[in-house]
Chains A and B, each alone.
Chain A
Amino acid sequence: MMEGIRRYFWRALFVVIMAAGAWATYLRFWGGLGAATNLSDQFPWGIWIGFDVLCGVGLAAGGFTLAATVHIFNIKSFRPVVRPAILTAFLGYLLVVVALLFDLGHPYRIWHPIIMWNPRSVMFEVGWCVTLYTTVLFLEFLPVVLERLKWHTALKVMKAATLPIIIAGVILSTLHQSSLGSLFLIMPNRLHPLWWTPLLPVLFFISAVATGLAMTIFESWHSSKAFGRQLEYGLVCRMTRVLAVITAIYLTLRFLDLSHRGALSTLNQPGFERWMFGLEIVLMAVPMLMFFREKTRQHPLAVYLGVVMWLLGFVTNRMNVSVTGLERSSGVHYFPKWSEIAVTLAIIAAGFAIFRLAAHYLPVFEEEHEEEATTPAGSGRIPTLEAARVPGD
């Protein structure tokens, strides 16, 4: 009974969201930005940039975090979660591009930066990073499709190119995650001092790495429920520990920077900024403290709720940088129109639906196997002490 309600509730909601999204899309492309949004010259970036792009890119960070962990740092135990993370990242970036098409005044000119260069613009770098990294993510995900199609020759070629592709991906996403912070560096007089800092690119990057881990845990939890897979809990526990450490580094940097710039005094000034700042910090600090306790890590539900809280904290941070921190200086109060919300929800719903389809039809949850030489069983020799010992032990 409950299962039926659950299935039909989400399906019905999906249909409603997509229908609203379709109507909003019609409004946007036939009526223009003015008809479909509450954006203005004073406040040109709303939730399509603040949430869809800034959060979308951050939430896709699991791809480069885990690809680097497994393929570059050779920590093989994380191999089972690499493919879902890369799929999430690929879908995340594709949907960011879709969101950009909605937000750009002239979406049909999205290809211009590729031809008409302006190397002094941060936006130029962001545009190029999105283009290149989406391509790289496509190449990283391609082996899964080739495996499904059983195109072994093409798969071999792709596997040979794995490492350079992964390295390119890590470099590009590092550039991109940080350059989204750099975008806001150019408005020191507009962005509230609680969020404007020369360290923005570094803070964006560190929080993106942590978000990559959090998203991987989040999606492992949901995949295990949806597809009846086993949640490799040991792996999840390790990720939460790393997440706690990265959060500690992030928050330490954040507060050192705030006190160094004397921005903490702005917390005494009235206004909703300080409350939003408080919310952001609480949503990150509470899960961090939770994950440092071994008792919490032994409870899957507590870990899941902690991860959800962390992700909401991350979203709060990006929204604060892109919306809350800019409202006071712009002199206008921005609240998104229903069509902006509908488009955003439709993009997220499409992401979930495509992920589900991909997980159903492609070997997303199967690990890639690296051909390694193995000792033939029964080689007829008792392994020596040296064979059993680990060098350096």
Chain B
Amino acid sequence: MVVLLVIVTFAVFIAIDLLLSRQKVPVVAPAMQEAEIPAVGQELLSGFHIPMNLKYHPGHTWVQKERKNVHRVGADELAAVLAGPVDRIELPKPGQWVRQGQKVFAFYRGNEKIEMVSPVEGEVVEVNREIAENPRLLLEDPYGRGWLMTVFSPDEESPTRNLLPSSLIPAWIRESAETFYSFQPQLAGATAADGGRASKDATAALPLNKWKEAARALLLS
């Protein structure tokens, strides 16, 4: 009977609290609303849209600080063009701990896949279910609706470690673009970017083995 007395007493207190504060649910680390997503820059570098107000990992993923300790992660346009029209995107599970440089995303064409690495270390808070259902978003809007995951990093400093200093981004993109074009059979040899945009199906003529080789070289996977 004593047990019941104790249990019922606490159950009553908790029920009253829930009843009185039902309007007041805890603020769960929120999924970002479309309206809240800060506008990204419009800079074009070597034919690719590379916003300069984001941070980049050498593996062509971008990082945007969402709030204290939470970062949003996605693939930059070069990676999106390289992946091309994919059938399926595999994302990590929420709650999974990812390390910087660990392979966490996979883009499939049929049974063949290329992988991308995580730019930051931390715990996956949320993944973009929309992109899992509609992989075309990766190409259509890599910095907006095509984001991949958000990561909670308990350490304020480490997420930005090993990311590219902004002064080096143009040179890095130029180098990456040259590497990317060198894989294109019809573009063999040196080509100069002339201010045009990279085609969305730039990898259409690329044989699968070359596609995977280019991904390994550029996405560090």
| A interface residues, Cβ below 8 angstroms from B | 2-3, 5-6, 9, 46-47, 50-51, 76-80, 221, 224-225, 228-235, 237-238, 241, 272, 276, 279, 297, 300-301, 308, 312, 315-316, 319-320, 323-324, 333-336, 341, 345, 367, 369, 372, 374-375, 377-380, 382-385, 387-390, 393
CB-defined contacts of A229 to chain B, threshold 8 Å = 27
Task: Provide a sorted-by-A list of 16 A–B residue pairs whose CB atoms are within 8 angstroms.
Answer: A6-B20, A47-B6, A77-B122, A80-B69, A80-B154, A230-B27, A230-B30, A231-B28, A234-B125, A237-B95, A315-B7, A316-B7, A335-B2, A378-B166, A390-B100, A393-B103
A51 proximity list for chain B (CB < 8 A): 6
Assess whether B101 is interfacial by the CB under 8 Å rule: yes
Closest B residue to A238 by beta carbon equals B95
Judge whether A388 and B123 touch: CB under 8 Å.
Answer: no
Alpha-carbon gap, A366 to B27, bound state (A): 17
User: Assuming the A-B contacts A300-B26, A385-B220, are A47 and B122 also in contact, with contact meaning beta carbons closer than 8 angstroms in the complex?
Assistant: no
Q: Cβ of A47 and Cβ of B157 under 8 Å apart?
A: no
Bound complex: CA of A229 vs CA of B27, how far in Å? 7
Q: Is the CB of B2 within 8 A of A315?
A: no
B122 x A323 contact (CB < 8 A): no
Asked whether A388 lies within 8 Å of B10 as measured between CB atoms, the reply is: no
**13-27 of chain B: CB within 8 A of chain A:** 14, 16, 20-21, 23-27
Across the interface, do A324 and B2 meet the contact criterion of CB distance under 8 Å?
A: yes
A237 touches B220 (CB 8 A): no
Contact B29 A390 (CB under 8 A): no
Chain B, interface size category, equals 35 or more
Q: Which residues of A contact B29 (CB under 8 A)?
A: 230-234
* Contact (Cβ within 8 A) A378 B6: no
**Which of A320, A383, A387 counts the most chain B CB atoms within 10 A?**
A383
Name the residue of chain A whose CB is nearest to the CB of B119.
A388
Q: B58 on the interface (CB 8 Å rule)?
A: yes
Residues of B within 8 A of A (CB): 1-3, 5-7, 9-11, 14, 16, 20-21, 23-30, 57-59, 69, 94-95, 97, 99-103, 117, 122-126, 152, 154-158, 160-168, 171-172, 220
- In chain B, what residue has the closest Cβ to A388? B101
Given contacts A241-B95, A312-B11, A375-B161, contact A47 B2 (CB under 8 A): yes
Ordered nearest first, which 7 A-B pairs have the shortest CB separation?
A224-B26, A378-B165, A6-B20, A231-B26, A234-B125, A319-B3, A389-B101
**CA distance in complex: A345, B103 (Å):** 52
Residue of A234, A374, A387 near B124 (CB, 8 A) is A234
Contacting residues, chain B, for A224 (C-beta < 8 A): 26-27
Contact (A301, B95) CB under 8 Å given A315-B10, A375-B162, A388-B117: no
Q: Which of B103, B154, B164 has the most CB of A within 10 A?
A: B154
Q: Which residue of A lies closest to B156 (CB)?
A: A369
B38 smallest CB distance to A (angstroms): 19
Residues of B within 8 A of A367 (CB): 154
Report how far A231 CA is from B26 CA in the complex, Å: 6
Whether the pair B28, A79 counts as a contact (CB closer than 8 A) is no
Tell whether, in the assembled complex, residue B97 and residue A77 are in contact, meaning their CB atoms are under 8 Å apart: yes
A372 near B26 with CB under 8 A, answer no
Q: Is there an interface contact between B154 and A77, defined as CB atoms closer than 8 Å?
A: yes
- Residues of B contacting A272 in the complex (Cβ-Cβ under 8 angstroms): 1
**Docked-complex contact A228 and B27, CB < 8 angstroms:** yes
Given contacts A385-B220, A389-B220, contact A235 B123 (CB under 8 A): yes
Which A residues lie within 8 Å of B122 (CB)? 77
Please tell me if the beta carbons of B95 and A312 are within 8 angstroms of each other in the complex: no
A76 x B152 contact (CB < 8 A):
no
